[in-house]
Structure 1
């Protein structure tokens, strides 16, 4: 993105919410009328923040599609179990855009730095826990980084 100016937005700041690491298994559906479909099954992971520590439970997934223009669209659902046994449902949409050369590096097992491509997510949370109820009215954004075994996200709460 050349000649992009960063513009402060009135009243918009962020604070660190958590670091997520999601371990995945890949299922390739292939080229469909909507694009190249892959399903990433979540096998585990961690969610660590200043207010909680948790594990990402197996069973969620990302119904990922790469459009014909090369843009990857994420559609993720996952459950976090905190160390004090609260369950937090997490869903997010996102965009992963890189070049074929970067995609080849990822598939080859190389870690590609987060600033070499565009990988952004917008998580939403649901929980019945009173302790974590603030997440039910939190708008969050995240920056992703992928490697062969999974993805990592730095997630921030929009204030």
Structure 2
């Protein structure tokens, strides 16, 4: 059986400047506050609420580990919790360039995530509790926003 992907939604996540924790045993740790944004797509539309963050670490081997948690509110008022974890080929220097506002070239960019949703079991989007999704974080072209395309694995 072959797997297929269907586009679920695209997140436009607004960010505050990163809080640099510094060099840790795991690598360079940063906390990137999520201040808002929106999402739109064939199956999900709405706003990203402020208050979440991405607790990421740029490892010494050139890999960045992302772990973001935040809340979505659909156009119908439903709240959705998302945890989006993944890996990218961004070393510490690339992350510094991104946060300084330099455009990241598309060539050589790789960042994939595994979004997981938590939704009210009695709500219209309860089906999100049971789906497997993958995300693709596009190369950032602004320091204050990232775009993540989310696909459902069918």
1:21 aligns to what? 12
Secondary structure of 1:116's match? coil
CA contact (8 A) 1:22 1:152 kept: yes
In 1, the alpha carbon distance for the partners of 2:25 and 2:78 equals 40
**What TM-score results when the alignment is normalised by the length of structure 2?**
0.89
1: CA distance, partners of 2:82 / 2:145: 17
Normalised by the size of structure 1, how large is the TM-score?
0.86
| Equivalent residues in 2 for 1:1-159, closer than 5 Å | 10-25=1-16, 26-98=18-90, 102-103=94-95, 105-128=97-120, 129-145=122-138, 146=140, 147-159=142-154
How many residues align? The count is 150
Tell me: CA distance 1:157–1:66, structure 2 relative to 1, closer, same or farther (3 Å).
same
Q: CA deviation at 1:108?
A: 3.8
Q: Which runs of 5+ in 2 are unaligned?
A: none
The structural deviation recorded for 1:50 is 1.4
1:100 Cα shift? 6.4
1:75/1:101 CA distance change after superposition, 3 Å? closer
CA distance in 2, matches of 1:40, 1:104: 13
C-alpha contact (below 8 Å) 2:78/2:123 kept by paired residues = no
Instruction: Note if contact 1:114-1:143 (Cα within 8 Å) is conserved in structure 2.
Output: no
- Shift in Å, 1:80: 0.2
Q: CA deviation at 1:114?
A: 4.4
Equivalents in 2 of 1:38, 1:17: separation in Å? 28
